[in-house]
Structure formats: structure tokens, C-alpha cells
């Protein structure tokens, strides 16, 4: 069911500072910031030869990233995103296996303009998993 790792997401308290670190210190190519109000975040992507790193900061006080940063003020790994060919088939298979889909269970459009779902971290050994249809 799982395809390749699409990206690893890191929550940061200051997106501009994180972008500067990745560009200046690591010499990375970083996209322009993109606000995603439906997800409550602003994101950039660090482009790597084999995958991407997503840096995300809260967009507004109701952002789910705000709670994460309260527990981890310096930031940290937030989730890992795997690609799937058919997100509805993946969702249905996961539900049958007893996994919990976050939100209402329906895919939302993610930062790449493709449908995404998030899986409850308690079902996956403490790791929040995002699935993105390719």
C-alpha cells in the first residue's frame, strides 16, 4: 500500500529563521512560503535529491501545530508523509484494520494540491502519519 516517503515534516516556531538556517547553513534549496488555512499552517519545502523536508509553522492561534510547539518549544519532527496510489482505498483498508483517521475521515487537499489524510499517532507507535495520493 505505501509508496515512497514524500516528505518528513518539522514543526518550527519561526519559519523565516528555519528557512535561513536551511539555506545559509545547509545550502539547501527552499520553496517560497505557502499558507494552508484549511490545515492551519504555513509551509515551505526543502528539496532533496530523494525526498523533501517540510518546515511548518502555525497559521493562527487555532493551528494544530501550536499545541505541538507548546510541548516542543524549539520545534521538532511532526509527521512523516507516505505516498499512496489510491487514498480512498488506503483509507478503507486502514479503517478495516482498526486504524483511526483524523478529522472527518475525508481527504483534504494538501500543499502539493493532492488529497491527503492523517492517521492517529497512537495507532502507529507515536508517529503522526500523513498519506498523500500520487
What integer best gives the mean pLDDT of the chain? 96
- For the stretch 9-57, pLDDT in tens is 999 999 999 999 999 999 999 999 999 999 999 999 999 999 999 999 9
Burial 91-100 (b: 16+ CB within 10 A, else e): beebeeeebe
Using DSSP's 3-state secondary structure scheme, residue 42 falls into strand
pLDDT at position 119 is 98
20 catalytic per annotation? no
pLDDT at position 121 is 97
pLDDT at position 61 is 84
Q: Which of these is catalytic: 57, 70, 83, 130?
A: 130
Q: What is the CATH number of domain 5-133?
A: 3.10.180.10
Please say if the pLDDT value at position 102 is more than 90: yes
pLDDT at position 101 is 98
Q: How far apart are CA 100 and CA 7, in angstroms?
A: 21
Amino acid at each position: 500500500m505505501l509508496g515512497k516517503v514524500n516528505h518528513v515534516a518539522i514543526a518550527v516556531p519561526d519559519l523565516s529563521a528555519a528557512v535561513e538556517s536551511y539555506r545559509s547553513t545547509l545550502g539547501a534549496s527552499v520553496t517560497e512560503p505557502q499558507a494552508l488555512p484549511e490545515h492551519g499552517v504555513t509551509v515551505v519545502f526543502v528539496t532533496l535529491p530523494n525526498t523533501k523536508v517540510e518546515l511548518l509553522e502555525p497559521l493562527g492561534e487555532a493551528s494544530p501545530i501550536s499545541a505541538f510547539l507548546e510541548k516542543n518549544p524549539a520545534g521538532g519532527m511532526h509527521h512523516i508523509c507516505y505516498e499512496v496510489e489510491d487514498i480512498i482505498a488506503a483509507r478503507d483498508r486502514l479503517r478495516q484494520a482498526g486504524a483511526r483517521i483524523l478529522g472527518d475521515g475525508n481527504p483534504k487537499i494538501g500543499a502539493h494540491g493532492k488529497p491527503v489524510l492523517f492517521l492517529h499517532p497512537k495507532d502507529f507507535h507515536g508517529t503522526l502519519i500523513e498519506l498523500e495520493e500520487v
